[in-house]
């Protein structure tokens, strides 16, 4: 595979840069700002693609799902939205959808790790 590495230039405030540097000073998982920013961008994309978990780990489903669940609650199929989501999660668990999802997520994470390992070597050049 012929990989092409593009150089990007971003504008960032001094405060934001200080925040990044502060984070990196106590987090040894990243060897450079570039590595951290690449990982942060890829993680952001993953979170947005899934679109159900917010930063504070609360459930925030796609508006279409939210509307459908609300209609099911209004129609009396569930006592509450929480009960509906609990049932959805139980069914997903019983049908091995969660384990398949976790495996896919792990596979994607492994791909990202491999990309970042390659980027670490590139950064050191």
Per-residue model confidence as pLDDT tens digits over 15-29 = 999 999 988 888 778
Q: Is residue 5 part of a domain?
A: no
The reported pLDDT for the residue numbered 61 is: 75
Predicted local distance difference test score (pLDDT) of residue 3: 63
> Residue range 59-68: average pLDDT?
80
Domain count, the chain: 1
Residues paired with 53 in a beta bridge: 59
- Measured N-to-C along each axis, helices 14-25 and 33-50 cross at an angle, to the nearest 10 degrees, of 100
User: Chain centroid to CA 79: how far?
Assistant: 31
Q: For residue 84, what are the contacts with CB-CB under 8 A and spacing of at least 6?
A: 69, 72, 73, 77, 78
What domain range is 48 assigned to?
A: 14-124
With a pLDDT cut of 90, the percent of the chain lying above it is 16
Residues 77-98 have pLDDT tens digits of: 999 988 998 888 888 888 887 7
Average pLDDT over the chain, rounded to whole?
Answer: 79
Residue 1 lies in a domain: no
Region 54-62: what's the mean pLDDT?
A: 65
Asked whether residue 36 is assigned to any structural domain, the reply reads yes
Nearest to residue 94, comparing CAs of 104, 86, 83, 106?
Answer: 86
**How far is it, in rounded angstroms, from Cα 92 to Cα 90?**
5
- The full length of the chain comes to 125
Select the more confidently predicted residue: 40 or 115: 40
Residue 78 has a pLDDT of 93
60-97 core/surface letters (b: 16 or more CB in 10 A; e: else): ebeeeeeeebeebbeeeebeeeeebbeebeeeeeeeee
């Amino acid at each position: 595979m012929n990989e092409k590495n593009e150089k990007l230039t971003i504008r960032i405030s001094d405060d934001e840069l200080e925040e990044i540097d502060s984070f990196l000073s106590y987090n040894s998982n990243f060897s450079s700002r570039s590595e951290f920013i690449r990982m942060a961008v890829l993680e952001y994309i993953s979170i947005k693609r899934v679109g159900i978990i917010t930063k504070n780990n609360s459930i925030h489903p796609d508006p279409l799902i939210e509307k459908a669940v609300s209609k099911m609650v209004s129609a009396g199929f569930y006592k509450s939205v929480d009960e509906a989501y609990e049932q959805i999660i139980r069914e997903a668990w019983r049908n091995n959808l969660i384990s398949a999802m976790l495996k896919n997520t792990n596979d994607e994470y492994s791909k990202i790790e491999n990309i970042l390992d390659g980027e670490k070597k590139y950064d050191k050049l």
